[in-house]
Structures are given as C-alpha cells and as structure tokens.
Chains A and B, each alone.
Chain A
Amino acid sequence: MLGKLDWSAIPFDQPIPLIAGAIVLVAILAVLIWVVAKGHLPYLWHEWITSVDHKRIGVMYILLASVMLLRGGSDAIMMRIQQAVAYQSQGFLPPEHYNQIFSAHGTIMIFFVAMPFVIGLMNLIVPLQLGVRDVAFPTLNSVGFWLTATGALLVNLSLVVGEFARTGWLAFPPLSQLSYSPGVGVDYYAWSLQISGVGTLVAGINLVTTVLKLRTKGMNYLRMPMFCWTTLASNLLIVAAFPILTATLAMLLLDRYLGFHFFTNEAGGNVMMFMNLIWAWGHPEVYILVLPAFGIFSEVVSTFSGKPLFGYRSMVLATMAICVISFMVWLHHFFTMGAGPDVNAIFGIASMIIAVPTGVKIYNWLFTMYGGRIRFATPMLWAVGFMVTFIIGGLTGVLVAVPPADFMLHNSMFLVAHFHNVIIGGVLFGAFAGFEYWFPKAFGFRLDERWGKAAFWFTFLGFYVTFLPLYIAGMLGMTRRLQHYDVAAWRPWMFVAAFGVLILSIGVICQIMQIVVSIRNREALRDRTGDPWDGRSLEWATSSPPPVFNFAFYPDVRGEDAYWDMKASAQQQSLEHEPPEYRDIEMPRNSPTGFICAFFATIMGFALIWHIWWMVILGGIGAFATFVVFAWRDHDEYVIPADEVAAIDRVNLEERRGLVSMAGTI
C-alpha cells in the first residue's frame, strides 16, 4: 500500500534533523493558523497563490530563494563546524549525516537559492524594462514557479521522511546507483530536480519569448537594457542546457528503477558518459546564474555612476560570446579522468577564452565609473565588492583551467574556495544588489541603508575570512568532502573558516534586520516618485509598486537608457500636462493551474520516491487533468476599463509630479 514507506523512514534516533524538522513544522503550522485565523487566506489565494502577474511571481520566487538560503546556510554552518572539530575524531556529525548535508547544501544553493533568486529578479524586472504589461505566457510562469517550489518542498521533506542523497550534489554514478546507494536519498535528489527542472525550463522558454517577442515601441535589440540582454543569454542557455540535465537524470532513474545500464559498472554502462552529460549541463548552468548577475551590475554601476553603460555594444557582444563559449568547455571539470593531452589542452584553452569577454565586462564597468558621480548606496557597494571579489575568483578559475595546475587542484578545497568565490562573489552579491536596487520598485518603499551597508560589510569580510583559508587548505593538499581528517596542518585553517562563517551569519542577520526595520519604517521610507535612484531604464518610469498593468500607455523608446532620455527631454512633463486618452486594458486572469498542478506533482514525486504506484498514477492523472481543464478554459483575460486605468494613473502621476527630477540635474 505504501511502497517502501514505513516508520523506519523517520530518523527517531537522529536528534538534529528531527528537531530541525519539528521546528520548521511548528513554524509552518503557526503561520498557517495565523493566516487562516486573521482571515488572510482569501487575500493570499487571490492575490498571490493564483496570481499570474509577473511581479507577484517574481516576488514569490525571491521569497522561496530567501527561505532556502537560510536552509542551505544552516547546512554550511554545520559543515564548517564539523571540519573545525573533526580533527582525529568523528566530530558531531557521523558520515551518513555529514554526507547528506554537503549534498543537500550544493543542491539547495544552486537549484533552490541561486536559480529562483535570479529567475525571480528577471521575472520581476524584465517586462518592466521592456515596457510591456506581462510576460509571454503568464499562466505557464505560475506553473514554473510552483513546480520549483515542489522541488524545494521534496528536498526539505527528505530531512524528516527518509534521507537525502549521500553522493554529492551531482550524484555521480556508480556511487549513485542502486547497488551503492540503496536508500531513497538519490531518488529524492533526482525527482526533486526533475520536477523543478521542468519549472526552470518553462521559465526559460517564457523569458526568451518575452524578450524576443514582447518589446514596446522603439525598443529594438540594441536599445534593450543590459539586464534584458543577459536575461536573454541566460534563458537561451536554460532552454539549451536543462533538457540535458533532465535526460541525464532520466537515464540515472531508469538505471535505478527499471534496471537499465546507462551508467552502471556492468553490462556496458559508462560512468564517464554521466560525467560528460552532467557537466554539459553543469557548466552552462554557472553562466545561467552569473549572466543575470552581470546584467544587474551593469544596471547598478550605470545608475549610481550617473552615466550610461560604457561600451554598450561591446558588452552585448561579450554577453553573447559567453553564452556561446560556455557550451564548449565542460570537459575542464574532469581533466584528471585520463583524457589525452590534446583534449585537455583544447578544453583548457577554451575555458580561458571565456575569461576574455568576462574581463571586458569588468573593464567596461570600470570605465562606466570613470568620469561618473558615484553614489555609494547599498547596491553600489555590492557592485564594487563584486568587481574586486570576482576578479580573484576569475584568477583562480583560469588557474584551474590550466590542466597541469588542475592535476594538483582538482576536487581540492582550493576548488571549493574558487567556485564559492565566483558564486558568492558573483551570483549572490548580484542577487543582493538586485534585491536592494529593485526592492523599492516592488514594494513602494526603500530598504534601510544603515542595516543594508552593515549587511554588505559583514558579508564581504565574512566571505574572505571563510574562503581564503580554504584556498590555503587546498594548497596544503586537502580534498573536499572530508568528514574527518588527521592532518594537523589543515586544522588552523578550518578554525579560521568556521570563524568566517560566523561573520557571514552576522551579515545574514543584518539582512533580515534590514527587512524588518524597513517594513516598520515603511512610511518614512516611502518612495512616491517611482524613481528613487534617479534610474535610467523603463522600470522607473512607472509607479512603485507598479499597477497591475505596469504602464497605462506603452512607452515610446527613442534610444538606450529610455527613461533617462524621457526625463532629459522633459517628455514626462508634457505627458503630465496634456490629459491623455485612456483605453481599456486586457490583462490575463488569475489561474490556480500552477498551484494545483504543483500539488499533484508533489504527490507524484513523493510517490515515485517511495514506490507507491497507485499514488503515482493519481498524481499523474491529477496534474495532466489540470492542464486539460486549463486548455479548455473559456475566458483567459479580463478588462480593466479605461476609467479605472485613468483613475489609477492619475493618482500615480499626481504623486510623481514635481518629484521626478530632471535628468542630470541632481
């Protein structure tokens, strides 16, 4: 009846996951009870859960990423403490637990923190920057989000029901095969990634289509803000790379469930093929994450320097070059697998070539600052912190692209330090910069600058204190994923790194405090102009938060930095003086399709993990039926009458009048 599921799945003998799970469960229940008791449920259902508004979905993506960041961060704290104490001892985490933690940490941070964070920011901002009212496929957008949430839910469920993978975040066979990992851990891993992978793929298709097909008047390709370009490049990579992940995990699952031999030791399976396939997805994946961050920094550096982006066309070229080359370098993840010198050298050089357009980007940001009037608001601090940190990560990255150097550094703590250097210093700093920069746009009030700056400095400092010691440990021969060790020389560095995590945690606390304080002081921090940073692109041309239709009129774009031009040519003023002729606006109706579909997908995923076949069929039929019902819908849009548009827009214009400064005058 319940497949492999029985009471032994719940780890009654392991206090840490049990207590953590209980706390989370109580917290969720408390929130649910509060929501229901206060009567917020209808609001949540109508305004958020069933919303197909790209801004709402973007916010929910970021919320999901933030919650999962705390989960992945707790894993990181446990790992650093374990390695600090496990010198000639077992530390406080037995291997089967420690191995789950580092596997979950990697999986969560990439798939359920970095991905939803950047996808959330793209969702929130790209339609606004393009001057349009929504993404290309609004309901699909909601489906994508909820399927990502399903994946996150399954990963967290593994904490208390069963186990998570003990194989590392890429689940290399043969270790991940049934014979060496007989538990449900790898199944949790694979099914949560399969389900969230579908969500990511539809998000990618949606954003590519949006950028290619939905742009306002005059917004041709070479007038798009850089963030739109990097969004395009990143989502093209999603569309091209995620099917590889899905196919690879499908093959692994066929091995595990139906006795196939794609990646087994026996019967002609080829474990090296898995390595190639997973990295053929995995390497583009890092550019999927970092390209949007590059876009965010381009916007931030330009805005806070009070200048257009330097070398815009050069930046476009660099972005697309990275997009293409990132597909041709995957082999550098396993130079040490015994490929010949020609193969190693060619892939090594190809990997270095990516450093050229990336270096060009750094220099163009540098020259954007040159001759500017730089305001060091929190987003700009993150941007400068990123530029310095990312160069160091780039240096160590090119270093491990030199095969003979990689022969010593592969899989070492040096490598761990390198990829955290580029992912934290690049993606996470970018996500935080974007969060600080666009928060006023999403919610209508600014974030507290003092807490924001404190968060930056603690995170920046904490990053170096944590990861420089790991570089050194790597140079001392320390390899990754060690649950305990006997080498005295490594130990001091593990202590320093553990101390660094403490500083990083203070940074996270400051970030949380910043949000709490800002919500409390929201009236004082209210932004009535819609343009708190003296911005340059179209998202600042509408109110904060934008009305559901974003723009009462499609903006007419005459050049790069569309909104800056409008401010400069005082077009805004003329728009405000002549009473415009408002028209009806059609907007997509809310739809519970995404939520219901994800509900059934969760059931199906859980049932597949535990081999509960009747439930698999139930979940599958339910998810499919949801699609069918949606496909047969009669009404998919509703009309906002011209009067209502006029009323909303007049209020906004009234608030903005006189507050929006003329370009270049402050």
Chain B
Amino acid sequence: MNLLDPQGPVAAANSTILVDSVFIMLAIVVPTIIAILGFAFWFRASNPKARFQPDFVYSGRVEMVVWAIPALTVILLGGVAWIGSHQLDPAAPVPGTGSPVRIQAVSLDWKWLFIYPDQRIATVNTLTVPAGAELNFQLTSSSVMNVFFIPQLGSMIYTMNGMVTRLNLRADNEGKLKGLSAHFSGDGFPDMMFDVNVVSPLAFPDWVAATAKTDAVLNEESYTKLMQQGIEKNRLTFRLDDPRLFDLIATQHIPPGPGPDLLSDAGRPHSGAHDAR
C-alpha cells in the first residue's frame, strides 16, 4: 500500500507532487535547521571567539530576506497547488483504453458495496476492475461518513448519505491491491478494508459473466438487510435487480441505515457492538 509505489496515473501524479513539494521545502528547511544548530553552537556563552553583538536587533536587509524566502517558496508551491488541484480534481476524467467502467460505491456499516450498474452485478468488499480502463466512481453512504481510498490508485473521497461524490481513477497494472475507509465510522471501521483485483481487460468480461450467474440478488430488500450494522467476512456477490438501486440509496428513497439495535447489547450505554468482534 506504499504511496510511493503508484499503480495508476492519478496516484503517480499525486505522489510526484508530494515528493516535489517535499524537495522544494527541503531546499530551505535543511539550511535553516543547520543555521539554527550552527548559530546555537557557535554563539554559546562559553565560546570566546564568538563576537557578542547585543545591539544587532534590526536589519532591514535581513528582514527583507526573511520575509522573501518563505514568500517565494509559497509562491512556487502555491503554483503547484493551483495547477495540481485542477489537473487532479477527483471529478476530472482520467482517459483510458476501452470503454469506461462505471462503479457505484456505497459505504455500509461496516462494509463496502460496489455496484456495477452496466454489468448488473454487485460485490461486497471486493472491487474487480480491468487494467487500463477509466474507472468512473459515484459514491454515497448508507449511514455515516466514510472515505473511499485505494492508496496505490490515488485520490480519496468522502462518502456521505443523501449525497453523491465523484471520483475517476485508472489502474495500470494487473494485480491485487488494498483499499480502505479513511474516515472513522464506528466500531467495525477497521474491518472496512477491501480487496482490489486488477484483471486484464480480456479477463474482466469473464469475471462479469461468472459473477452474473450468482444466485443472490441485490434489490431493495436484500440491500436493507445488508446495511444492518455488522462485519462481512465473506466476499459476497450479487446479481443486480434494479440498475437504479444506487439512485434510490443516494436520494434517500431507501432510508439511511438504522444504527445499533437498541434492544441488543450494542445499544446499551457502555458496551459496544459485540458483533464487531
């Protein structure tokens, strides 16, 4: 999950900006730290060679330089930030080969539901995507806030109930990656890690076809069951009944997740959700 080992263009650009910014700043930070330690050492009271200048309390030139150095650095970095924010806007398109894959991600308590509306399938805690294609995410939440993040593919984004956020990514190399939620969402939060399988563009239709044979069907009823608080260890797959399911969730036609069951232990004042363990 190393951020400096990007597997897609967004992560590559993000980490380039990250590393460049660090080096721009190191160019003034390192000399400053050396100067601090150097001055502190040289001007120690026990050093007879250091010249005592108690009246050196103002210098217009020094002031100009010390305001100018951080200001110039910030102008440079500000440019990086401005251009970077626009080029790497999570909603900006990320061109890829083949047709884009639309994925609708819903954060549940405490698992990720990935709906493929065009393929009419859905998965839980596993995201399978073809290498090289633009991945077109729409995201929402069934209840509390979460953040969708696949470190090696780049840019994270919040999921919020009643709202849809957008994110475009691309995975360039086949392999297995990890994703997670980057915003604390309750007792089962650490178990919101999910697998990302990047498969070849040829293998992707096969995987879709295989998944579409699943018996389990995702509709309003099974979704409502799925969004109950709890951890899902199994990598569930579904056939999608209604391709507009995501819109029903995002527009709150399906009401938000209920939270802990007040009659169970989880609802009691001091104890937590035991099913989280």
Q: Which residues of A are at the interface with B, using a C-beta cutoff of 8 A?
A: 4, 8-11, 13-14, 90, 94-97, 99, 162-163, 166-168, 172, 174-175, 179-184, 265-266, 271-272, 305-314, 334, 336-338, 340-342, 344-345, 348-349, 352-353, 355-356, 358-360, 362-364, 366-367, 369-376, 384, 387-388, 391-392, 394-395, 398-399, 401-405, 407-412, 475-487, 489, 664
Contacts and interface: CB of A to CB of B under 8 A. Distances in A.
Contacts of B66: 311, 314, 359-360, 363-364, 367
Interface stretch (B70-78, B113-121, B200-208, B215-223): B70-78
Contacts of A407: 14, 88, 90, 154-156
B264 to A, nearest CB: 11
Interface centre among A334, A337, A402 (most CB of B within 10 A): A402
Nearest to B44: A374
A385 to B, nearest CB: 10
Interface stretch (B29-37, B127-135, B238-246): B29-37
A10 B270 CA distance: 8
A371 B90 contact: no
A13 B272 CA distance: 12
Contacts of A166: 186-187, 272
A480 B182 CA distance: 7
Nearest to A97: B272
A624 to B, nearest CB: 30
Interface of B: 1-4, 11, 13-15, 17-18, 21-22, 25-26, 29, 32-33, 35-37, 39-40, 43-45, 50-54, 56-59, 62-63, 66-67, 69-71, 73-74, 77-78, 80-82, 84-92, 143-145, 147, 149, 151-152, 154-158, 160-163, 165-166, 178, 180-190, 193, 252, 255-256, 258-260, 262, 267-273, 276-277
Contact of B43 (A181, A265, A309, A370): A370
A293 B96 CA distance: 51
A353 B74 contact: yes
Contact of A8 (B18, B160, B180, B268): B268
B158 A372 contact: no
Contact of B143 (A8, A10, A265, A369): A265
A162 B151 contact: no
A402 B81 contact: yes
Nearest to B158: A337
Given A183-B270, A352-B74, A403 B56 contact: no
A408 B154 contact: yes
A367 B178 CA distance: 49
A185 to B, nearest CB: 8
Contacts of B181: 479
B84 A404 contact: yes
Contacts, number: 326
B169 to A, nearest CB: 11
B130 to A, nearest CB: 23
29 contacts: A10-B270, A95-B190, A96-B271, A96-B273, A99-B184, A162-B270, A174-B144, A175-B144, A175-B186, A266-B255, A311-B57, A311-B62, A336-B147, A337-B157, A345-B84, A366-B35, A370-B39, A374-B43, A388-B37, A395-B29, A402-B77, A404-B87, A408-B15, A408-B151, A475-B2, A475-B4, A480-B184, A483-B189, A487-B1
A310 B58 contact: yes
Q: Which 9 A-B pairs have the closest CB atoms?
A: A96-B272, A477-B1, A371-B53, A359-B70, A477-B151, A363-B66, A345-B85, A404-B84, A407-B155
Nearest to B80: A402
Contacts of A345: 81-82, 84-86
Contacts of A360: 66-67, 70
Contacts of A484: 190
B151 A356 contact: no
A364 B82 CA distance: 30
A404 B182 CA distance: 16
B277 A90 contact: yes
Nearest to A664: B54
Given A95-B276, A369-B40, A411-B183, 17 more contacts: A94-B272, A94-B276, A175-B184, A175-B185, A179-B258, A179-B259, A306-B52, A307-B53, A314-B67, A337-B157, A359-B66, A362-B36, A366-B32, A388-B33, A402-B84, A410-B156, A479-B182
Contacts of B82: 345, 348-349
Given A360-B70, A362-B32, A408 B11 contact: yes
A334 B160 CA distance: 13
A477 B178 contact: yes
A359 B80 CA distance: 19
A180 B40 contact: no
A459 B39 CA distance: 23
A334 B165 CA distance: 13
B39 A366 contact: yes
B3 to A, nearest CB: 5
Contacts of B272: 94-97, 99, 166
A477 B2 contact: yes
A356 B95 CA distance: 38
B58 A395 contact: no
Nearest to A13: B271
Given A265-B252, A352-B81, A182 B43 contact: no
A184 B270 CA distance: 8
A96 B187 contact: yes
B12 to A, nearest CB: 11
Given A95-B277, A384-B40, A311 B90 contact: no
B145 A172 contact: yes
A163 B180 CA distance: 28
Nearest to A483: B190
Contacts of B262: 182
B14 A180 contact: no
B81 A349 contact: yes
Given A363-B66, A404-B84, A266 B39 contact: no
A305 B74 CA distance: 30
A266 B277 contact: no
B260 A182 contact: yes
Contact of B56 (A356, A370, A375, A476): A370
A50 B171 CA distance: 67
B269 A336 contact: no
A95 B187 contact: yes
A307 B54 contact: yes
A305 B43 contact: yes
Given A180-B143, A349-B82, A408-B14, A359 B1 contact: no
Contacts of B147: 336, 410-411
A391 B32 contact: yes
